[in-house]
Amino acid sequence: MLRVESAVLSFGGFRAVNGANLEVTAGEIVAVIGPNGAGKTTLFHLITGHLSPDSGRILFKGREISGLPPHVICRRGISRSFQVVNIFPRLTVFENVQIAVLSRERRTFRIFSEVKGMEADEVHSILRNVGLYDRRDAESDLLSHGDQKVLEIAVALGGKPELLILDEPTAGMAPEETERCIRLIRRLSEELGLTILFCEHDIGLVFEIAKRIMVMVRGGTVIQGSCEEVRRNREVQSAYLGETGGC
Amino acid sequence: MNGRRAALLLLLAVLVALPHALPRFYTYVAAIVLLTGLLATSLNLAIGYGGIYQFHHAVFYGIGAYGTALMLTRTALPAPLGFVVGPLAAALLSLAMGVVCVRLSKLYFGMLQISLGSLVWVTVYRWYSFTGGDDGIHGIPLPDALGSTGGAYYFTLAVTVLCLAAMRRIAASPFGKTLEGIRDNPVRSAAVGVDVRAHQLVTLVIAGFFGGVAGTLFVVVDTSVFPDMMFWTFSLEVLIMCLLGGMYTFFGPFAGAAAIVLLRVFASHYTSYWSLVLGVILTLVIIFLPDGILGYAVRRHRAGEARSA
């Protein structure tokens, strides 16, 4: 479904992404791991159009998407959440998700119809699904950090994506919130059949939910394979998991 | 909210009765309050709802006024056509400037807009043979029905109410909500598939159009136009109206406009330093009521509702 072929992006003299390769097939959960500064978030920015690669190709469903603006890539079927909470702080929880749904339905240019309650059924079902229904009328700025991260995912779901990209979905969450978030990601994959690509620092969590793992070091791909293959790979052990294996 | 509807109806009744109760000068002031309120509200569509740094909104007000004034004085075409041409010219200029400016964000947008707007101003200011230069145009002939102070006032009232209703409708539409999303977080908006620049451009055209309507109304009320209407300091003044009243409420800018126009009229009776009074008030508002006067009232009201619920 998604294929990144030797993507390269430099900032000045620094190659943040340096020949990264990634393959995601429909229906699976793929994790990208790697030390701080390995280029995981930058790679995600390349895929969603927030940055364009200097060279290499990014294909989604067989079509080249590298260099397209974010809103066009979103319409092709890729939604994402961000590492740092990135929501509409002055709007309510309901409105946050509503904008994503309106955008998908191409209704954002309607200037004379009443927005109140529009698409309410779908928004409510998304909010029920992620467990934020009870807080739907709260100003999103006032949610807890964990709830805001979940709202991030809910906003991404509003685009009814085929591929959902989550950039450190549990960063900064309390342990019980993390637990809830993992269950949510699993459920999205199992019940909605979503293809999910995520990156995460919590290695335990990665091995728990990912079907396949891509390891990035210094902007390049070390290996992409099943959890077992990654665990056994010596290069990964030395570069990232530590000599003892870590998991 | 029925109380709110009743309050609006009462306000409307007062506004309709006003010319019968007040001397002519104050009817004129009331009309200026109305059209300035319309101008501030139109700016707020861009800055409060859209988060666009529309720093030179007065240009569209001025072009709306000059467009109408020139149609009425330089052509023999029917007057109503002039009333339509002014706002349309403003919208068109807004589109042209917007196409250039919308590529930049935030302050850069604002700076470029001030530059381009100043070009428009200096053209109007210097082109004596066409615009009357710094003299402006005075004694613009109006249709008989609008010739009296009362007639001009009622026309202004009707058009202002219509325009406010239309803008309120836009603010409550999917477009308006999307605009608030762009204000809050343009990156996120793009990530959910919103074409940010296209929405901003449409907003600019809408804001420019209604700003132009306010300019046209000024011609009706004052029967004159002059280049100062579109000098950048006036843009700043309109911006202050939004800040003072509250950018995140719909009627805040209108209240801010009323406050400033009335302050100018009445305080300048007593002192020529009326802007000093404004400065002190504004400083206090920014420090103690960062959401503006109406924004503060709304917050208090909501907090009260939450407590009683």
Q: What is the pLDDT of residues A4-24, one digit of tens each?
A: 999 999 998 888 999 999 999
Instruction: Please report the ipTM that was assigned to this predicted complex.
Output: 0.87
- pLDDT over 90 (residue B188): yes
Closest to A102 in 3D by CA, of A77, A120, A81: A120
Contacts of A108 in chain B (CB under 8 A): 174-175, 178, 194, 199
- Output b/e per residue, B86-101; b: 16+ Cβ within 10 A: bbebbbbbbeebbeeb
Closest to A139 in 3D by CA, of A128, A130, A148, A131: A148
Closest to B252 in 3D by CA, of B195, B185, B188, B167: B167
- Work out the mean pLDDT of chain B and round it to a whole number: 91
* C-alpha atoms less than 13 angstroms from C-alpha of A143 in its C-beta half-sphere: 30
- pLDDT over 90 (residue B183): yes
Contacts of B185 in chain A (CB under 8 A): 86-89
Cα distance between residue B39 and residue B242, in whole Å: 10
Residues B238, B60: contact at Cβ < 8 Å? no
Cβ A112–B193 below 8 Å, yes or no? no
Residues B227, B125: contact at Cβ < 8 Å? yes
The domain A1-77+163-247 is placed in CATH, from the list 3.30.420.40, 3.40.50.300, 3.40.50.1220, 1.20.120.550, at 3.40.50.300
Question: CA of B202: which chain A residue's CA is closest?
Answer: A109
- pLDDT over 50 (residue A246): no
Residue A240 banded pLDDT, cuts 50, 70, 90: low
Closest to A47 in 3D by CA, of A12, A94, A9: A9
DSSP string, B258-278: HHHHHHHHHHHHH-TTHHHHH
Where do we find the tokens 């990232």? A240
Q: What is the per-residue pLDDT for B37?
A: 97
- The arithmetic mean of pLDDT across residues A67-83, rounded, is 93
Q: What is the per-residue pLDDT for A174?
A: 87
C-alpha to C-alpha distances, B192 to A71, A127, A159, B15, B265, nearest whole angstrom: 6, 17, 6, 44, 48
Question: Parallel, antiparallel, or unpaired: how do β-strands A29-33 and A212-217 relate?
Answer: parallel
A114 in contact with B, Cβ within 8 Å: yes
Could you give the percent of chain A with pLDDT greater than 70?
96
> Reduced to 3 states, what is the DSSP secondary structure of residue B245?
helix
Distance from CA of A116 to the nearest CA of B (A): 7
Contacts of B188 in chain A (CB under 8 A): 82, 86-88, 155
Stated pTM of the model? 0.89
Q: What is the per-residue pLDDT for B45?
A: 96
- The pLDDT tens digits of the residues spanning A23-64 come to 999 999 999 998 888 899 999 999 999 999 999 999 999 999
CA A239 to the chain's CA centroid: 24
Indicate the DSSP class of residue B158: H
Cα distance between residue B216 and residue B68, in whole Å: 6
A111 in contact with B, Cβ within 8 Å: yes
Cα distance between residue B218 and residue B63, in whole Å: 11
A195-199 β-sheet, strand order: A78-81, A163-167, A195-199, A29-33, A212-217, A220-226
Q: Looking at domain A78-160, does it have CATH number 3.40.50.300?
A: yes
CB neighbourhood size of A44 (10 A): 23
- pLDDT over 50 (residue A247): no
Q: What is the per-residue pLDDT for B157?
A: 96
- The pLDDT tens digits of the residues spanning B44-78 come to 999 999 999 999 999 999 999 999 999 999 998 99
- The pLDDT tens digits of the residues spanning B157-179 come to 999 999 999 999 999 999 999 99
- The pLDDT tens digits of the residues spanning B99-152 come to 999 999 889 999 999 999 999 999 999 998 899 888 899 999 999 888 888 899
Residue B308 banded pLDDT, cuts 50, 70, 90: low
Distance from CA of B183 to the nearest CA of A (A): 8
Q: Which two tokens stand for residue B306?
A: 């939450």
> Reduced to 3 states, what is the DSSP secondary structure of residue B225?
strand
For CATH 3.40.50.300, the residue range(s) in chain A are: 1-77+163-247, 78-160
Cβ A87–B188 below 8 Å, yes or no? yes
Closest to A154 in 3D by CA, of A134, A124, A175: A124
Distance from CA of B249 to the nearest CA of A (A): 12
- The pLDDT tens digits of the residues spanning A214-232 come to 998 888 888 898 888 888 8
Q: What is the 3-state secondary structure (H, E, C) of chain A?
A: CEEEEEEEEEECCEEEEEEEEEEECCCCEEEEECCCCCCHHHHHHHHCCCCCCCEEEEEECCEECCCCCHHHHHHHCEEEECCCCCCCCCCEHHHHHHHHHHHHCCCCCCCCCCCCCCCHHHHHHHHHHHCCHHHCCCEHHHCCHHHHHHHHHHHHHCCCCCEEEEECCCCCCCHHHHHHHHHHHHHHHHHHCCEEEEECCCHHHHHHHCCEEEEEECCEEEEEEEHHHHHHCHHHHHHHHCCCCCC
Length of chain B: 309
A90 in contact with B, Cβ within 8 Å: yes
- Radius of gyration over every alpha carbon of chain B, rounded to an integer in angstroms: 19
Q: What is the per-residue pLDDT for A245?
A: 44
Q: Helix axis angle, B149-171 relative to B2-21, nearest 10°? A: 160
Residue B271 banded pLDDT, cuts 50, 70, 90: confident
Distance from CA of A50 to the nearest CA of B (A): 9
Q: Which of B1-5, B10-14, B163-167 has the lowest mean pLDDT?
A: B1-5
Distance from CA of A244 to the nearest CA of B (A): 40
Interface of B with A in 238-267 (CB under 8 A): 248
- The pLDDT tens digits of the residues spanning A116-126 come to 989 999 999 99
- The pLDDT tens digits of the residues spanning A197-208 come to 999 888 888 888
- The arithmetic mean of pLDDT across residues B200-214, rounded, is 98
Q: What is the per-residue pLDDT for A242?
A: 58
Contacts of B181 in chain A (CB under 8 A): 88, 91, 95-96, 99
Contacts of A48 in chain B (CB under 8 A): 191
Cα distance between residue B223 and residue B81, in whole Å: 16
- The pLDDT tens digits of the residues spanning A125-184 come to 999 999 999 999 999 999 999 999 999 999 999 999 999 999 998 888 888 888 888 889
